[in-house]
Amino acid sequence: MSIEKTMRELNTLHLSEKSAISLEKPESEYILHIDSQLSSVCGSDARVAATGSENTVRIYTRQTLGYLASISGHTKTITGVKFARVMPHLLYTSSLDGTVRCWDTRSNMKDAVQIFTGCEGDTDAFSSFDISCDDRLLCTGTDATDHDGVFILFWDTRKPQPLGCYSESHHDDITQVCFHPHDRDRLLTGSTDGLVCVFDVSQETEDDALQGTLNSESSVSHIGWCGERECNVYCTTHIETVHVWQADEFDAVTQIKDVRDAFQGEKKLDYIVDCFQPMGDNRLHVLAGNHSGHLHLLRASSPDCLEYISSLDGGHSQDVRCLTWDAQAEVAVTGGEDSMLCLWHPRQGHQNTAEVTRRHPLKAPSKIRLHTKRSVGENRRHAKGHRTSQESASHSHEG
């Protein structure tokens, strides 16, 4: 796909479906994390999983955001949700309760089919996790504790006991871990200590595995792989900056200062949701928003500048917390503090989706109010560094 065609598609991205995860409650249930099965694997039967602030996971069809099922089992805040890559019927969730649970979406999902805990049971608070591209490795990051420090733990997904862990590379809460989409041995980790670490987990010791340390100079919000053949690393921070580095030489490719300074008026921005990369365009794209729920698509047009592409309106009314992007289908799903899931796709698909909506109309959400305002510290413990609509947070590896 050419860059010109990609830009045209993004310019016509529009809201096609929305679904509320909370309708009757006096306070809204935040959507904290979402993930989607890929169209390349599941086609039109792809599912979306969304985690709520009340420790539940809900499953929806991605084509219409029709509700399918819910999962309960975690006793504390869920910090991540991921479909397996090779066996997408398996869904993994991590939590501050010190467990990662695997659910088989082909079953009634009353019980997890696997439960992974740390070396000393469920004493670790898992703040993030990811699964390797071949579904063989599971990795989690933990919150920092006064007596134990912070850890990056690994499992073979076929066994409940950990393979081992890293303990020297970060010294504060790990906010993100991210495997390379095609190389099972390459891993990124990001932390509130401002560091992004690049690992080759095939090495026997943590010192040998650590390939490079990148400094964002602020608490890390999101990390990922980008560029041609995913040869670069991106990072966004809680002070709304964007960084891109080469993954091998570790040279800076892009450094964007606070995006809130660059866009005002109708294009006003209060926060970055996340980044993604469309097929046919190797430049990083950024989804950002404001506290009224308006979203804007931006593109890294130069090493220190983001250009405005288009706006996505009509979906959310409060802060948007999460994004999942399917590059092949050119479909985005967003979730926010207003309890809404929203589906966005290029306009040429609108007619078919509208027919589905008329046959199966979604109930309009009732009016709901925000959670009580939290302090920055309380909010970070609640949702691992994400913003409320009122605030923005200015052992070696043996396997």
* Of the candidates 319, 325, 340, the residue with the CA atom closest to the CA atom of residue 269: 319
Residue with tokens 């409940």, as numbered in its chain: 160
Residues forming beta bridges with residue 140, ordered by sequence position: 129, 153
Tokens coding 270: 């209060």
pLDDT(365) > 60? no
> Lowest mean pLDDT: which of 21-35, 60-74, 137-151?
21-35
Q: What pLDDT is recorded for position 5?
A: 60
Cα dist. 270→11, 159, 263, 312, 368 in Å?
A: 21, 43, 9, 15, 22
Secondary structure of residue 40 in the 3-state scheme: helix
pLDDT(53) > 70? yes
Q: What pLDDT is recorded for position 264?
A: 83
pLDDT band of residue 162 (cuts 50, 70, 90) is very high
pLDDT band of residue 355 (cuts 50, 70, 90) is very low
Q: What is the mean pLDDT of residues 165-186?
A: 96
pLDDT band of residue 253 (cuts 50, 70, 90) is very high
Q: What is the mean pLDDT of residues 130-134?
A: 98
Helix (H) or strand (E) holding 51: strand 47-52
Q: What pLDDT is recorded for position 362?
A: 28
> Lowest mean pLDDT: which of 40-44, 232-236, 252-256, 378-382?
378-382
pLDDT(149) > 70? yes
Q: What pLDDT is recorded for position 115?
A: 96
Q: What is the mean pLDDT of residues 136-159?
A: 91
- Among 211-225, 250-264, 270-284, name the most confident range: 211-225
Q: What pLDDT is recorded for position 54?
A: 85
* Residue 113 DSSP code: S
Q: What pLDDT is recorded for position 335?
A: 95
Q: How far apart are CA 334 and CA 295, in angstroms?
A: 10
> Lowest mean pLDDT: which of 97-106, 142-151, 189-198, 359-368?
359-368
pLDDT band of residue 15 (cuts 50, 70, 90) is confident
Q: What pLDDT is recorded for position 280?
A: 83
pLDDT(217) > 90? yes
| Domains of the chain, earliest start first | 1-54+258-394 (no CATH), 73-215 (2.130.10.10)
> Lowest mean pLDDT: which of 2-11, 38-47, 51-60, 239-248?
2-11
Do 67 and 362 meet the contact criterion of CB atoms below 8 Å apart?
no
Q: What is the mean pLDDT of the chain?
A: 83
pTM over cut 0.75: yes
Per-residue pLDDT tens digits for 181-213: 999 999 999 999 999 999 999 999 999 999 999
**Within the chain, how many helices (H) and strands (E) appear?**
5, 28
